[in-house]
Structure formats: C-alpha cells, structure tokens
Structure 1
Amino acid sequence: MLFVTNRSIRERERAAGTRPMSERRIHFDTRDNFAGQAVYFCRRDGADDYVEVGGLAFMQALKEAQRRQVLLYFHGFSNQPEPDIFPRAELLQRLFDAIDPLLVSVVPVIWPCDNDIGIVKDYWDDQKSADASAFAFARALEKFLAWQTGNAENDDSCLKRLNVLAHSMGNRVLRATLSCWSRYDRGGALPLLFRNVFMVAADVVNETLARGGEGEPITVSARNVVVYHASDDLALRASKVSNLKNGVASRRLGHTGPEDMRQVPGNVYAIDCDDVNTLYDPPKGHSYFLLDPQQSDVAGGRLVAGKVFAHIAAAVQSGRVPLDDAVRRIAVLRG
C-alpha cells in the first residue's frame, strides 16, 4: 500500500525534501509528534515494514496501477500507523475491492498524532500537529500537480480521478492543507482537483464550508463535498467541550452538518447518519464509515459494508451523490 507522511522517521541521513537515489527502509519515531515540513512518499509492505520510494516513483506507481481512481485517506486524531491507520486503510481497500477490484486505490495521508496517555492532552497536541502539517501536504499537492502537468505536455498524463475521505480531525488537516496550498502556491485560485471530498464526523466548526469560511478552499477544489454527520457522536460532543477552553463555542460540522445550507456552495451535500452511527461504532458513534459489525465476521473474512460506506462507494462510482432531496441537498441513511 502506498502512503504519504510527514511523520518523523529514524533515518535522517538524507537531506529533507531531496529524492532518494533508491528505495530505503524507514521506521517511524512514534514518540515524536513534531509536524515535519519534509514529506515522504512511501510504500507499506507489511506491518512496521515501510519503504521510502520518492515522489516520482510513487506517482508513477499510482498511474500504472490497474485501479481507475485514487482515494486519499486523512485519518483522525490520536491514531498511530500501527495498529490504527494502516489496518483501517486496508479494510477500506477490501470493502472497495468487494464492489469492484479495479475501482479505487486507497492511499493513507499520515500526519503526526501524539501517543501520550490522556485523551485531552492528545487532543490539543494533535490540533497543533494538524495545522502545522499543512505546509508539507500542500507541497505534496504542488508536486503532484507539477508532475501531472508535465506528463500532459508529453501526452502521458495521469487521468485517474482523485477522491478524499477525511475522518474526524483529518478534516482539519485537509482544510489547513488546501488553505495553505491556495495561499502560497496557487495565488488564491485552486484547481478542480478532486471528484469527491467525503467529510466524515468532521471535527471542525459547522460554519467552515460557508462562502468566505476557512473551509471554502475545500468546496473550490472538489466537484462534490459530502458531509456525514450524527448528532449523537460522543467523540465530537467531547470535542466541543474541549474547544470551549479556547473560546470556540460553535458546534462541530460532524454533529450538525453545515449550519446553514443556504450559505454554502451548491456542491455541498449533508448526509444524516443518526440512525446508524452508534449501531456501527458503539458507544461513541464516531468511526461509522466502514462495516456493519452486526452482519460482519471480520475474523471469518465476511465483510458487510455499512450504509455510510455504501453511500461513499456509490458517489465514487458515479461521481454523483445519492440524495433524498436534491433541492435541499440532503439525505438520511436509515438503519
């Protein structure tokens, strides 16, 4: 599995940002949650078995893969590469492959979460790391666009569609990345790069996608921006309480969806997951975008996708968002 990261690694002989001469084994330093400005393009060959391949080889591998689309997965807070991020990304890949083995390649985007004991300390440390990771991942997007443009001039362009799935605080990383990329590299005008951006249980304020809001670059960069929300998400309830410390009283996007659909662009859609979130992720109801655990037997190899994942997959396949009310741009996923 290919992945991109700005986490600290133990091997630091190579100057940051330079291309490796050949593949080299790397190891994460999980005790270090510093948000590095170097970005590493890598491949996972197995648990704790990682190889840095370099940007050009990474992009060429994505292009040459048989799968037709790419999905960048921005994980949530307090997640470590093992056993959290990669197993979940692999499960995402298995669920997509069960629908169509040539549909999409899942590519984790790994930012440096803390591994301290204590969820509140983790939360504040991870917010800082999420914001500070923006420069590294903006550079990665700029590298990709330069590579794609250069190939187009040689009639060798990569035409695969790009999608994003951001979970929880991963949406903060995505928002900061696109804002940074727009400001420093794109002159305030982002390209339409993504087919779909799926914002699941987003731990950002619920006004962020409004015109002029911090998250407006997300809506500019994507054909569809799909917000999955659940009012009884206990993790986001704790997030709102934590944010009161810094005077941020607004509700979270993953709790309510956009505060006012009239204030967001017409490519933003709100999907109510209240009926299924705690069924799929009891008792917190926060990580509800994968399996239906009541029907699945993971140990036995029987995977049954939940309705949230099925909704995401349908949008990836068609480029259109299944809705109950196309005028109001909403849907309710029922248990």
Structure 2
Amino acid sequence: MPAKDLVVFYATNRRRISDAFDAISAEVPDNRRLWLGKAAVEMLGDPDRTEAPRHLLTHPEIPGDDDFEDPDTGAAAQVLDAWLDGAVSRQAVALFFVHGFANSFGSALERAAQVTEFYSQAVALAPFAFSWPSDGRVIDPQKIATGADAAIDQYKADQTDATGAGGALARLLREVHRARLRAKKAFGAPPRMVLLAHSMGNLALSAGLAVMRNGLLTADMAGTFDHAVLVASDVPNTALDPQEPLSEIAHLARAVTVVISRDNTLAIASRIANGGSRRLGHFGPAQLRVLPANVTVVDYFLGLQAPQSKPELFQVGGTEWDIVEHQYYRNDRKARIDLAQVLAGLQPSGRIPLPPGEQVDHERARHMILPFTGV
C-alpha cells in the first residue's frame, strides 16, 4: 500500500512567521539567516498524477533554529544529520533540491514530494528542499513573451530573490559537507547524495557558488555530491564558462548532468525578460570544449513525449509552455526514466552520444541526445 505522507526536510532563508514562513518577497529576508526543519507532505499514490494538487499535512516543524551556531552538534546540524540518517536507514538517495521561480515555501516542499513520488518506481529518494524566497505566484510565460510589464517585473523580482539567497545557500552547502563527513564517520560511508536544481534554482545555485568562491569552497569539498543535475537552467548559456561561478558545480559534485530541451519558456519568454540573453537550459553551454571532463550535456527534446499524448496535464489549467516544455523533468515519463537512472547512479541506457561534428546543431550544444522513439 503506498505511503500517504512523506517527510520532507528543508532549509530556508525566508522570514519566519510563527509556525511558517513569509510568502511575499517584498518582505526582505536576511540574506544569510537559515531555518531548518521538516514537514509531512501528502502523497497521492500515483506517480503519473504529476499536476494533481497536494498539501502539507501539518505546520512545518522548525527545530533547526540556532542558525548553525554550533555547526556539528547544534539544532540545525541535527536536522541535516536526521536527513542523511533517514536516507541510510531507507537505503535511499539523499536528494538536495533547489526549486525554480514562482514557488512558495509550501509549494517548494510539495514539489520535492512530487519529485520523490514520480521517481519512486525507479529510485528511492530522501528529499531535502532549499526554499529561497520566491514570491510563489504563477507567471504565464506567454505574458512575458508579449512584453507584459507586470509579468516581467514579477519575474525579475524572483531573480532578485534567487540572487539574494546566495549567502544562505553557500552556508548551507558548507554545512551539508560537514554533515556528509559526520555520516561517513557514523556509517563508514555516507548515503549517495545528489543535487537537483530546476530553472531559476540554478541562478540561486550560481549565486551560492559565487559566495563560496570567497573562501568557503575548499579542496576538501570536492565531491560533496555524487551527482548534480541542472535541468532547464534559467541562466545565461555562458554560466558554465570557467570564470563563471556556476562552473564550480563541477568541483562540488563528482559528476554533472546538464539537461536541455527546446523550451519556449527559456527560448522566448526568458530571453525577452533578460535582454536577449540565450539561456543555458534551451541552447546548452556557449562552449562545450571549455567544460570540465565530468560535465555532460544531454538534449532531451527529441525523446520527450508529444504534448497531445499528455492531455491530463491541461485539465488543471496549465500552459504548454510551462507544464510540458519547462517542467518535463516531472511531467514526462521518458525524461523521468533517464533522470532516475542518473539519480540512482546507473549508466543511462537510452542516450545516444553524438560525434563531434553533430554536437552543435542550430546553435544548440550538447554531447548526447535522447532519441525519438515514436511514443
């Protein structure tokens, strides 16, 4: 019988309001202050109900309130230890999730639970969500594409929030490394640990890595994560160039997969909001040859299901731009099959490596593709 709830651990730099957290970023949060805890989230028992609503079942517990004053045994450190202890006891992969734009605190935790349930048929995940203070209001990408000032302003407000969360995320990643070392000491080996960043979450990650460059990112932090997956990255396609902070993900993780697809949210809407900047999640990196050897770029576009094969997604009022083209890591079965193998530490079985002469096509740069299979 499927579980009816899932414990999602979290950290956030949102402003605390009694038993929960502020949903509106106009209330400026502390750039560095961290609260840690856990919440029970509803599970639906059906991995294919990807857009069905779900809810937190209780107010979030917020025991990690010492802001890592005691980095090894304090209240916040204990939350990280409980996350990794739970992963070990369940023989699960410890998932560190950074959400995209237009997510409230609650929806960030619900999204982490969604991802866990959607992938549960192939890999067991123990989720930990970092909730940066996005406004949590859904933006129609088509309004951005038409130049609607209100939509663009809202999008840019989330960009400011993601960038402003860099200090908090940098501190958190440092403490995740400490927790990994404690798990290694306690169990002989830590659980498999993976990082998954979607859309504008990659901007928050880049901002965090920029802060870490100023002394927090040391040689011993290499391989803190066994794998990092950057999906539909809403950052410039130059973000992985050696001088850019996001390139440090190749140090923080033993292997990195950059997933791209033809995504009109990024190719049209985000480009307009960003002054014409090509976005990494659509075009791929500006230069494949400068990437570290442990970074692989995979183009999912040909292998994704056709939108008409997923009519149930539109019953909840979503747009094709978002729920099909931009949320494919959740809403596409073939994407989930490939990513589940990555998260589990398996060699993905459905990819086709491209010869050097075919790696750049129509200004899109990638090492591999998911092939079209007629489904």
* TM-score interval (norm. to shorter): 0.7 to 0.9
How many angstroms apart in 2 are the aligned matches of 1:10 and 1:331?
Answer: 45
Contact 1:76 1:170 (8 Å CA) reproduced: yes
Distance 1:57 1:210, change over 3 A: same
Larger RCO, structure (CA 8 Å, separation 6 or more): 2
Structure 1 residue 269 corresponds to structure 2 residue 269: no
| Distance of aligned partners of 1:191 and 1:324 in 2 relative to their CA distance in 1, 3 Å threshold | same
1:303 corresponds to? none
For residues 73 and 151 of structure 1, what CA distance do their matches in structure 2 show?
A: 19
User: Does 1:79 pair with 2:119?
Assistant: no
Query: 8 Å contact 1:201–1:236 — kept in the other structure?
Result: no
**Partner of residue 199 from structure 2, selected from 155, 168, 180:** 168
- For the residues of structure 1 that align with 2:283 and 2:130, how far apart are their CA atoms? 26
**Does 1:41 find its partner at 2:36?**
yes
- 2:198 aligned with 1:177: no
State the 1:151 CA deviation: 5.9
- Residue identity matched to 2:115: L
Task: Give the Å deviation of 1:222.
Answer: 1.5
Change (3 A) 1:270 1:32: closer
Deviation track 1:216-251 (CA, whole Å, cap 9, x = no partner) reads 11122122211121224334421111111xxxx431
Alpha-carbon distance, 1:80 to partner: 1.3
Q: State yes or no: 1:69 paired with 2:93.
A: yes
**CA distance 1:146–1:194, shift in 2 (3 Å):** closer
Contact 1:206 1:252 survives alignment (8 Å) = yes
TM-score by length of 2: 0.73
Give, in whole Å, the separation in 2 of the partners of 1:139 and 1:5: 11
- Choose which of 344, 349, 361 in structure 2 pairs with 1:317: 344
Note the alpha carbon deviations across 1:278-303, whole angstroms, 9 max, x for none. 626752011111134xxxxxxxxxxx
**Alpha-carbon offset, residue 269 of structure 1:** 1.5
Aligned length: 300
Partner Cα distance (1:326, 1:235) in 2? 24
> Do the aligned residues in 2 keep the contact of 1:224 with 1:321 (CA within 8 Å)?
no
1:139-218 residue pairs with structure 2 within 5 A? 139-149=171-181, 155-156=186-187, 159-186=190-217, 190-218=221-249
TM-aligned CA deviation for residue 189 of structure 1: 7.4
Q: 1:165 to 1:182 in 2, by over 3 A?
A: same
Q: How big is each residue's C-alpha offset from its partner over 1:152-201, in whole Å with a ceiling of 9 and x where there is no partner?
A: 5x555661121111111001111111221232323587422112111111
- CA–CA separation in structure 1 for the residues paired with 2:189 and 2:11: 18
What residue in structure 1 maps to residue 63 of structure 2?
53
Q: CA deviation at 1:146?
A: 2.9
Label 1:270 to 1:43 Cα distance change in 2 as closer, same or farther (>3 A).
same
CA distance in 1, matches of 2:267, 2:128: 25
Structure 2 residue identity aligned to 1:203: D
Cα distance between partner residues in 2 of 1:233 and 1:273: 14
Change (3 A) 1:179 1:91: same
3-state SS, counterpart of residue 269 of structure 1? strand
CA contact (8 A) 2:180 2:224 kept: no
Rounded Cα–Cα distance in structure 1 between residues aligned with 2:10 and 2:212: 20
- CA distance in structure 1 between the partners assigned to 2:371 and 2:114 by the alignment: 21
Decide whether the 8 Å contact of 1:148 with 1:157 is kept in 2.
no
Unaligned runs of 5+ in 1: 12-25, 293-305
Q: Relative to structure 1, is the Cα distance of residues 38 and 288 closer, same or farther in structure 2, using a 3 angstrom cutoff?
A: same
Match of 1:9 in 2: 16
SS of match in other structure, 1:89: helix
1:98 aligns with 2:121: yes
Deviations 1:14-48 (A, max 9, x none): xxxxxxxxxxxx21121345242211111113426
Letter in 1 for 2:330: L
Amino acid at match of 1:229: I
* TM-score, length basis structure 1: 0.81
Contact 1:93 1:105 in 2 (8 A): yes
Contact 1:271 1:333 in 2 (8 A): no
- Cα distance in 1 for partners of 2:248, 2:219 equals 9
Match of residue 287, structure 1, among 327, 331, 351: 327
Quick check: 1:172–1:204 contact (8 Å CA) kept in 2? yes
Q: Is the 8 A contact 1:70 1:162 kept in 2?
A: yes
Residue 277 to residue 75, structure 1, CA distance change in 2 (3 Å): farther
After TM superposition, the runs of 4+ consecutive aligned structure 1 residues lying more than 6 A away are none
**1:197, 1:58 → 2: CA distance?**
22
Alignment of 1:28 with 2:55, yes or no, is no
